[in-house]
Amino acid sequence: MTTGPATSAPLTLATPVQFLKGVGPQRAELLAKLELFTAADCLFFFPRDYQDLTDLQSVAELEPDKLVRLRGTVVEIEMRGGYSGRSMLGVLVQCGEGAAADYVRAMWFNMPHMRKRFEHGQQVLLTGKAKKKGGRWEFSHPRVQWLEQEEPGDAERKILPVYSLTEGLHQASVRRAVQASLDGCAALLDEVFPPEFLAAHNLLPLREALTQIHFPTDRAQLEQARRRFVYQELFILQLALAVRRLRLQVDGSAPQLEPTAKIDARIRRLLPFALTPGQEQAIQEIGADLSRHFPMNRLLQGEVGSGKTIVAVYAVLTAVAHGRQAAIMAPTEVLARQHARTLGKLLSESRVRWTTLVGGLGTAERREILAQIKSGDIDVVIGTQAILQDDVEFAKLGLVVVDEQHKFGVRQRAQLRKAGQAPHYLVMTATPIPRSVTMTMFGDLDVSTIRDAPPGRMPVKTYLANDEQRERWWEFVRKKLREGRQGYVIAPLVEQSDDPEDDRASVMRTFEALANGPLEAFRLGLLHGRMSNDEKEAAMAEFAAGKTQILVATTVVEVGVDVPNAVLMTIEGGERFGLSQLHQLRGRIVRGTHPGFCTVFAKPSTPEGLKRLEAFVASNDGFELAEVDFKLRGPGDLLGTKQHGLPPLRIADLARDEAVVAEARSDALALVQQDPGLTKPEHERLRKQMLKRYGAVLELGDVG
């Protein structure tokens, strides 16, 4: 492969990668697939991992259940079982050469895809805990790294960077490009932090940090370098969020909607029960926000069944009492209609005028509703994304409540802001949010949390079961149904997949099997996302009225379904659900005064999958489960954060770097308080970097 033409011109940050030493036009095409176009791109293309050769053990040093790292060569590969169902992959690894060679076996169960990754003669690095079986050490599901042929210079390095690759590109090629960029361009970079800031926060200078994050001298230097870039990334984000909050308070204009003693008394007369301490605290915080002249931007998070809707209703009625309109927006029609039913009961004795605006309305009916909203004859509008359409005009919109806020994007929420005064915003979630995510993705919102449940709510007993325990479970279900209770059966798919073992993953097959089998003597209903809105409404109405005893459904019932008599939950294919989603589903059977029972049938294929299910069985605390799920799965799209509008984090890991998140947040708030516009000369580079990365997002509006 040819390299680029020799050039005496000095490198710049904008030098195309093909002119870096050892690259050339062909490799440049491959690097472009990784979005590496210039020398600067290579400088900030951080390794995804490292191969640590500083602390290798020999087979003779192995001890049972002690974490070790071995280097060796693949000499034998054995696959038992098929590519579907149960399988076992065994890889024999030779450690050492000649007569002194020893052998270990690495094993992977039910992971047939791993077979494609091994070839005879490969150099591998195994990390894990070994046990001795039949005179040979065995590793079960060790971490494995594949070592390439060493390049000149690699032999002296004990910690090698591992970069993301594309087909046809090798680690050596990326390492050469990065090294060339470091040699020629690192000195051209500007440090964004003032010298005294670096010293005060124990941060490596930029150029030193770049060298150490790519080619670390040792573990300590690597950690220092990584901390520098993690802190910088999170600090710039927190600066953006802090500036955004400040701009809202300075520039935003909203109606002042104070919940006076008279308004408070009128609202409480409509509430059917006393509020919990958690609800009272949330109402107090929301009331203080509504009283201000700039828009409230508050996130209300609460445990499943903690009574967030009542708190939202309090805010809505406060707005109406001041002659303002309120909008309640839900992600699905099922949830919107549930809110309408709840509000209808509470307002049956009041003069508040409300309506439902969803997608399936007739033309004449919709036109009439829109006219009433525009004239101010409607006080409260409950609906789905239909509220966001251009032809929806409010006369005096004072408050927007967004339920299950992570299912909406920033731009969608911003559409409700029209000319003139901005409405107050209250966004709600029944998916408890890990602390580090709250501080980043929702860092520009104030947060209220309801942890307690209304009095009289009964706990749920949760079980993890296999196929052998099915009949025992269905016998228990039949007993409870005869006592007058109801229940849900949840399946992850609408229709059967191609895998014959996935019968129970399909809601259609599950319904059929139950109706003609263990529950044939009972009345079953069916609910899934492909049904028409009228069909969904009819299915829910029949279940709520007790006409059907079991509702077989997909996760369409995850939120918004409130049937207090339903105390049984059967979840098929539990390994397909996230931990927070499982907890949401279980929340459907904590609505009443009878104890709930939830059984999950699952076939987890990974240790992480089993840990997730075991955590679900062990805890009813949604906040605890959110943290567990976060640590097991990472942020991913756990909360729909792709819709949030923020660029993805490049190096920070919100699960691992929670302490740095808190530190960066505190430091950013302090800096913005000291220099609100970041106009001081020493903060100019910070301001530029903040605007370059988050400037567009800052214009999207103020709701997280």
3-state secondary structure of 427: strand
Segment 303-319 shows an average pLDDT of: 90
Same domain, 563 and 589: yes
**Domain harbouring 106, CATH code:** 2.40.50.140
pLDDT in the model for residue 499: 54
Alpha carbon distance 51, 334 (integer Å): 51
243 contacts 700 by C-beta, under 8 angstroms: no
Question: Is the pLDDT assigned to residue 567 strictly greater than 60?
Answer: yes
Same domain? For 23 and 138 the reply is: no
Q: Is residue 372 part of a domain?
A: no
Give the Cα-Cα-Cα angle 287, 270, 398 (nearest 5 degrees): 40
The reply to whether 48 and 66 lie within a common domain is no
Amino acid at the residue 703: V
Reply yes or no on whether the pLDDT at 701 is more than 90: no
**Structural tokens at position 283:** 């109402």
Question: Of 411 and 443, which is predicted with more confidence?
Answer: 443
Q: Are 215 and 42 in contact (CB under 8 A)?
A: no
- pLDDT tens, residue by residue, 578-619: 888 899 899 889 877 789 999 999 988 777 888 889 999 999
pLDDT at residue 646 is higher than 70: no
- pLDDT at position 643 is 42
- Please choose, from the candidates 253, 269, 264, 305, the residue with its C-alpha nearest in 3D space to the C-alpha of residue 286: 264
63 shares a domain with 50 = no
Higher pLDDT, 622 or 320: 320
Question: How is 263-290 classified by DSSP, letter by letter?
Answer: HHHHHHHH-SSPPPHHHHHHHHHHHHHH
Q: What is the mean pLDDT of residues 246-251?
A: 78
pLDDT tens figures, 535-560: 888 898 899 999 999 999 998 775 55
The pLDDT value recorded for residue 3 is: 47
Do 18 and 32 lie in one domain? The reply is: yes
Domain containing residue 44: CATH number: 1.10.150
DSSP states of 543-590: HHTTS-SEEEE-GGGSSS---TTEEEEEESSGGGS-HHHHHHHHGGG-
Contact 675, 397 (CB under 8 A): no
What residues pair up with 401 in beta bridges, in sequence order? 328, 426
Q: Rounded distance, CA 315 to CA 311, Å?
A: 7
Q: How many CA atoms lie within 13 A of 231 on its CB side?
A: 24
Check pLDDT > 70 for residue 164.
Answer: yes
Q: Where are the beta strands (DSSP E) in 198-316?
A: 297-302
Same domain, 113 and 79: yes
Would the pLDDT of 306 be above 50?
Answer: yes
Does residue 181 contact residue 38 with C-beta atoms inside 8 Å? no
Residue 426's pLDDT band (cuts 50, 70, 90): very high
595 located within any domain: yes
In a domain, residue 10? The reply is yes
In 238-339 the beta strands, taken as DSSP E runs, fall at 297-302, 325-329
Average pLDDT value over all residues in the chain? 86
Give, for 135, the enclosing helix (H) or strand (E). none
Report which of residues 694 and 206 the model is more confident about: 206
- Residue 517 confidence class, pLDDT cut points 50, 70, 90: very high
Please say which residue of 619, 634, 665 terminates a domain: 619
- The confidence band for 262, taking pLDDT boundaries of 50, 70 and 90, is very high
**473 belongs to a structural domain:** yes
3 with 143, same domain? Answer: no
Which of the residue ranges 297-306, 390-399, 408-417, 462-471 would you say has the lowest mean pLDDT?
408-417
Residue 19 predicted with pLDDT over 50: yes
Is the per-residue pLDDT at 151 higher than 90?
A: no
Q: CB within 8 A of 27, min separation 6: which ones?
A: 1, 3, 17, 18, 169, 173, 177
Helix or strand (DSSP H, E) at 446: strand 446-450
| Angstrom distances, CA of residue 107 to CA of 24, 50, 90, 133, 611 | 41, 23, 5, 12, 20
**Res 101: pLDDT:** 82
d(C-alpha 625, C-alpha 622), whole Å: 5
pLDDT in tens, 69-111: 898 999 999 998 765 557 889 999 999 887 778 899 999 988 8
pLDDT value at position 559?
57
Evaluate if residue 134 carries a pLDDT over 70. Answer: yes
Residue 33 maps to a domain = yes
Q: Confirm whether 60 is domain-assigned.
A: yes
| Domain interval for residue 469 | 460-619
pLDDT over 70 at 381, yes or no: yes
User: Is 658 domain-assigned?
Assistant: no
- Tens of pLDDT, residue by residue over 486-512, are 999 999 887 655 555 555 678 999 999
**Three-state secondary-structure class, residue 341:** helix
List residues bridging with 136 in a β-sheet: 133
Q: Phi/psi at 99 (nearest 5 deg)?
A: -65, -20
Q: Residue 161 forms beta bridges with which residues? A: 50
The pLDDT of residue 149 is 63
> What confidence score (pLDDT) does residue 588 get?
87
The neighbour count for residue 566, using CB atoms within 10 Å, is 26
pLDDT for 305: 75
Domains in the chain, number: 3
Read off the pLDDT of residues 280-294 as tens digits, 9 standing for 90 and up: 999 999 999 999 999
How many CB atoms are closer than 10 A to CB 183?
A: 14
Regarding whether 86 and 42 lie in a shared domain, the answer is no
Q: Which residues face 38 on adjacent strands? A: 16
**Is position 193 within any domain?**
no
Please report the pLDDT score of residue 640 as a whole number: 41
- Amino acid sitting at position 574: G
The answer to whether the CB of 102 falls within 8 A of the CB of 70 is no
9 with 82, same domain: the answer is no
Mean pLDDT, range 265-271, rounded to an integer: 91
pLDDT at 503: 54
User: What are the pLDDT digits (tens) for 23-80?
Assistant: 999 999 999 999 999 999 999 999 999 988 888 888 888 888 888 889 899 999 999 8
Which pLDDT value is given to residue 2? 44
